[in-house]
Each structure stands twice: as structure tokens, then as C-alpha cells.
């Protein structure tokens, strides 16, 4: 359980990094944002995959701030949920070890 939660946290961190780069380049002419997709990985984990969005003929950045901000809120919520699950697992294992000792 902890491994899949850690995998999810790491994938969401990669997602956040890509989103932050998209936001940082919002005023860069001709910038094409990276689109991140989260997929099931091996052993129940999560992995992030990245793809460059196609550039249209516009000279302006193609970053959509509304999308990036809502994605970042979802990422924050997901990471928080996974951290809570990791803390709960850790507490349960600690209690189990205390009982066995």
C-alpha cells in the first residue's frame, strides 16, 4: 500500500513540475505547453507521461492558465490524500509492532 502511495506522490510531483514550467512560460512567445497524463504503473503504482502539445500558427504562448491552476489544485489534493494514507499506514504498522513487542 505504501509503495503505491509513494508512487502516486512522485508521479504527481512530476505533474506539478511540468505544470509549473507551463505557468512560468505563459508569456514566452510561441511556447507550447507540456501535457501530463497519469497512468497505472506496474505493481499498482502510478506514473506520469508527458507529451508536447501541438503548436498552432500563433506566436503567443499556448498555456491556458485556468487549466494549469485547476490541475495544480487537483494535484495538491491528491498528494495530500496520499500523504494521509501513508501516515495512517505508518501508524498502523507502529501499533502492530507495539502489540507484537
Judge contact between 33 and 62, C-beta under 8 A: yes
- Quote the domain boundaries for residue 82: 2-93
Tens-place pLDDT, residues 40-94: 987 788 999 999 877 666 677 889 999 999 999 999 999 999 999 999 998 888 8
Q: What is the pTM of this model?
A: 0.83
**Domain annotation covers residue 15:** yes
- In-domain check, residue 23: yes
Is 101 part of a structural domain of the chain?
no
pLDDT number for residue 21: 96
Residue 98 falls inside a structural domain: no
Residue 55 forms part of a structural domain: yes
Domain count, the chain: 1
Amino acid at each position: 500500500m505504501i509503495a503505491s502511495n509513494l508512487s502516486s506522490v512522485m508521479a504527481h510531483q512530476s505533474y506539478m513540475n511540468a505544470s509549473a514550467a507551463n505557468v512560468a512560460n505563459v508569456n514566452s512567445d510561441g511556447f507550447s505547453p507540456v501535457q501530463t497524463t497519469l497512468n497505472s504503473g506496474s505493481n499498482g503504482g502510478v506514473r506520469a507521461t508527458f507529451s508536447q502539445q501541438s503548436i498552432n500558427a500563433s506566436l503567443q504562448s499556448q498555456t491556458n492558465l485556468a487549466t494549469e491552476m485547476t490541475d495544480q489544485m487537483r494535484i495538491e489534493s491528491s498528494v495530500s490524500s496520499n500523504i494521509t494514507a501513508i501516515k495512517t499506514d505508518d501508524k498502523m504498522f507502529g501499533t502492530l509492532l507495539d502489540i507484537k513487542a
